[in-house]
Structure 1
Amino acid sequence: MNKRPYRMTARADEALRTGDRIIDAMLQRYGALPYDRIRLEDVAADAQVTAQTVLRRFGSKAGLTVAMAERELGRIAAARGSVAGAGCAATMASLAEHYEKYGALILKMYSEVRVVPGLAELAVRGREYHVRWCADAFDLASAGDGPTRERRLAQVVAVCDARTWAILRLESKLSAAQTGLALHEMLAPLVTDG
């Protein structure tokens, strides 16, 4: 019996785990520090690998940052997809909970698009996803004629935006529950199942 495929699979699995550890370490650093103060040596130490391993795997600090943002965007899409069609109140409560976890990261990513090569393109993809999610989650395909539908979608996108969450939660210092309720109250008049 040939044991080589097993070793290759085990090696591939270990490479995936190593990549995830590196991305997790970058996520921790990225959440705590400005991008220009993050050192690959520190990320590597946190992930228990060498800086050379990080560079071999991701090419650069910018490459690692984009890989981290791509992974988290996939997680965001999965979490948001799980509440589609749950009704306005449940969807907005879930969105507020989602922003408790990802809001600061999303806002930071948008603020650093000019600093990190490749991040601007990812931010555009994230924004396009957000608009599609809003249209689908609140069934805006049937929201009147063309201009009315476009205006309604723009309103829903604005209410559901991380910046709106930040105004309510961070600037106005509402609790997480009150933020979810405020988002629901703002959105309810705009959707059919308010």
Structure 2
Amino acid sequence: MTDAARSYRMRARADGLARTRERILAATRRRLLTMPYDDVRLADVAAEAGVSQQTLLNHFTSKEGLALAVAEALAPEIEALRGPVAPGDVAGFVRGLMRQYEALGDANVRLAGVAERIPALAPGMEFARGRHTALLEETFGGHLPADPRERRRALAALYAVTDVGTWKLLRRDLGHSRAETTTVLQSLIRAALATTLHP
């Protein structure tokens, strides 16, 4: 076999593996976004993706590994939903937050609950929390105290009022509309920012 033929076969194999991986991720994503984690069965994912369960495990090792891979694949989508926000723009930040939570919030809440009892999922939640904190810092850092301890407390307050759990409370538990929830979140962020400036 020539080097060119060998290279072609290797590329074709790599492309095939990538397509298989994408089919598995897509099938898992559909389930994780609409079903409780415990109801997602690897056999069903494999069947939808057109592969054996062993092939699925060869790619992702375990159900937890598959869930973390889906979370990683969702990161660019979340960034796109959030969109660019000018520093200090409360309304713009909340618009992006609401786009994300309306699309993915229910699944986020379910997975957060599962991560509390399945340690293998904890890294995914830690990454998400770290990214959310970074976005708060990027948007509102110029309005936060310079003192490290006070700044940390201010970020914690902003995190609490913008967490998916707060969205769930307003939208799902209390039954507020999207517009009402948007208004409440904007008010909570402004109040938190005002408190950091005038403790």
Q: Tell me the TM-score range normalised by the shorter chain.
A: 0.7 to 0.9
CA deviation after TM superposition for structure 1 residue 114, in Å: 4.0
Q: Which residue of 2 aligns with 1:103?
A: 105
Q: Which amino acid aligns with 1:131?
A: T
In 1: Cα distance, 2:102 partner to 2:11 partner: 37
Instruction: Tell me the secondary structure at the aligned position of residue 84 of structure 2.
Output: coil
In 1: Cα distance, 2:12 partner to 2:178 partner: 42
Q: Is it true that 1:85 corresponds to 2:86 in the alignment?
A: yes
Deviations 1:38-77 (A, max 9, x none): 2211111111222121111111222212211222235324
Q: Is the CA contact 2:108–2:164 (under 8 Å) kept in the aligned structure 1?
A: yes
Query: Root-mean-square deviation (CA), in Å?
Result: 2.4
Alignment of 1:40-119 (within 5 A): 40-77=42-79, 79-80=81-82, 82-85=83-86, 87-119=89-121
CA deviation after TM superposition for structure 1 residue 174, in Å: 1.7
Alignment of 1:1-194 (within 5 A): 2-77=4-79, 79-80=81-82, 82-85=83-86, 87-140=89-142, 142-191=144-193
The structure 1 segments of at least 4 consecutive aligned residues displaced by more than 6 Å after TM superposition are none
TM-score normalized by the length of structure 1: 0.85
Q: Which amino acid aligns with 1:165?
A: W
In 2: Cα distance, 1:17 partner to 1:137 partner: 37
Q: Is the CA contact 2:28–2:45 (under 8 Å) kept in the aligned structure 1?
A: yes
Change (3 A) 1:175 1:62: same
Q: Which amino acid aligns with 1:143?
A: P
| Structure 1 range deviating more: 121-130 or 88-97 | 121-130
In 1: Cα distance, 2:42 partner to 2:58 partner: 12
CA deviation after TM superposition for structure 1 residue 120, in Å: 1.2
Q: Which amino acid aligns with 1:15?
A: L
In 1: Cα distance, 2:119 partner to 2:28 partner: 16
CA deviation after TM superposition for structure 1 residue 79, in Å: 4.1
Instruction: Tell me the secondary structure at the aligned position of residue 91 of structure 1.
Output: helix
Q: Which amino acid aligns with 1:182?
A: V
Instruction: Tell me the secondary structure at the aligned position of residue 4 of structure 2.
Output: coil
In 2: Cα distance, 1:191 partner to 1:16 partner: 46
| Structure 1 range deviating more: 151-160 or 134-143 | 134-143
Structure 2: state its 5+ residue gaps. Answer: 195-199
Change (3 A) 1:107 1:46: same
Deviations 1:10-34 (A, max 9, x none): 4323322221221121122223333
CA deviation after TM superposition for structure 1 residue 99, in Å: 0.5
CA deviation after TM superposition for structure 1 residue 127, in Å: 1.3
Instruction: Tell me the secondary structure at the aligned position of residue 29 of structure 1.
Output: helix
Structure 1: state its 5+ residue gaps. Answer: none
Q: Is the CA contact 1:85–1:137 (under 8 Å) kept in the aligned structure 2?
A: yes
In 1: Cα distance, 2:42 partner to 2:127 partner: 26
Q: Is the CA contact 2:90–2:190 (under 8 Å) kept in the aligned structure 1?
A: yes
